Amino acid sequence: MGALVDWISQPQTACGLLLVAMPGVGDVGKLAVDAVNAELDAEPVARIIHPALPPLAKLDEDGLLQPPHILLSRVEIDGKEVFTLTGDAQPMTPEGQHEMAIAVLDLFEGGEVLVLAGMSALADRKDIFSITSSSSYRIELESKGVDVRRDEPKAGVIGMAALITALGPVKNVKTSCTIATTVGNSADPVAAQLLLETIRKWWSLPLPVPIDATERLAQKIREMHPGKAEDLISELTESPDSIYM
């Protein structure tokens, strides 16, 4: 059984623009896409269901049990329709990830898909770059000022981010993966914020950048260390590198 697309509404997705992020290193891409969805009041479009997703069904806002799924949503940015795709998990098997990636690319044939992801790195490295799987699309991106790398990630890319990006040309979709470095030990809103700002610049796409990374970090510290939170927050905000720790 392949992926099942359960339409909530059925807009025209072919030739559209899609932002994709799955849980991963530092949840960098997912934090970014979640922020866009929240800020722009994203409209759910479809649930993409696959049997290889973790078998955890959750209650929705109306108290109804939903099947495991990845959610396709729609937002409007300066009058332009943009789609987003994210979820709490991705399929747990290579076959499931492949089938899910193909299903997504089939929906956006002739369009453009931007995958957002994180990559583990040392704390003093704060870098953002893109990779792609088409030489002609790489030339197009570089002409817009996108930093497209040819020599990293040296270990390659894994999961849905890898397959959606690599299989794009097979399905006549322009695909890229834009990667922000992160320590990756926990959710990294700083890297997510930088990632959104970079996508805004490179694709001239006026995405909202609502993530207040410092305040989110401060709130997390208050919850973890209620007795000495203010001292820890002061130390972290005085050191620009320590926010990655």
- Domain membership of residue 7 (yes or no) is no
Residues 217, 197 within the same domain: no
Predicted pLDDT of residue 232: 43
pLDDT at 44: 97
Q: pLDDT tens digits for 145-190?
A: 999 999 999 888 999 999 999 999 999 999 999 999 988 777 888 8
Phi, psi of 17 (to 5 degrees): -110, 130
Q: Does 129 share its domain with 159?
A: yes
Looking at residue 170, what DSSP letter applies? Answer: G
Which amino acid, one-letter code, is at 203?
W
Output the six-digit token pair for 243: 């926010």
Q: Which residues contact 87 (CB under 8 A, 6 or more apart)?
A: 22, 23, 53, 69, 70, 71
Token reading at 91: 């399929």
Length of the chain: 245
pTM: 0.85
Do the beta carbons of residue 70 and residue 100 sit within 8 Å?
Answer: yes
Between residues 64 and 230, which one has the greater pLDDT? Answer: 64
**Residues 205, 82 contacting (CB under 8 angstroms):** yes
b/e map of 88-120 (b: 16 or more CB within 10 Å)?
eebbeeeebbbbbbbbbbebbeebbbbbbbbbe
- Segment 227-239 mean pLDDT: 45
Beta pairing, strands 17-21 & 80-86: parallel
- pLDDT tens-digit map of 91-144: 999 999 999 999 999 999 999 999 999 998 888 888 999 999 999 999 999 999
Q: Which of the four pLDDT bands, split at 50, 70 and 90, describes residue 211?
A: low
What are the pLDDT digits (tens) for 2-31? 899 999 998 999 999 999 999 988 789 999
Judge if 103 and 222 occupy the same domain: no
Q: pLDDT class for 222, splitting at 50, 70, 90?
A: low
Residue 78 predicted with pLDDT over 80: yes
Measured CA distances, 13 to 27, 77, 217 (Å):
26, 16, 36
Give burial (CB, 10 Å; 0-12/13-18/19+) of 200: middle
98 and 218 together in one domain: no
Q: Rounded distance, CA 4 to CA 57, Å?
A: 16
Do 148 and 234 lie in a common domain? no
Q: At what angle are helices 229-238 and 213-224 packed, to 10 degrees? A: 150
Residue 163 maps to a domain? yes
CATH classification at residue 140? 3.40.50.10900
pLDDT at position 245, please? 27
Domain that holds residue 227: 212-245
Name the domain count of the chain.
2
Q: Is residue 1 part of a domain?
A: no
- Average pLDDT for residues 228-238, to the nearest whole number? 44
Q: What is the DSSP letter of 171?
A: G
Q: Give the integer Cα–Cα distance in Å for 6 and 153.
A: 35
The pLDDT of residue 218? 53
Tens of pLDDT along 199-209? 999 999 988 87
Q: How far apart are CA 16 and CA 100, in angstroms?
A: 18
For residues 200 and 224, membership in a common domain is answered with no
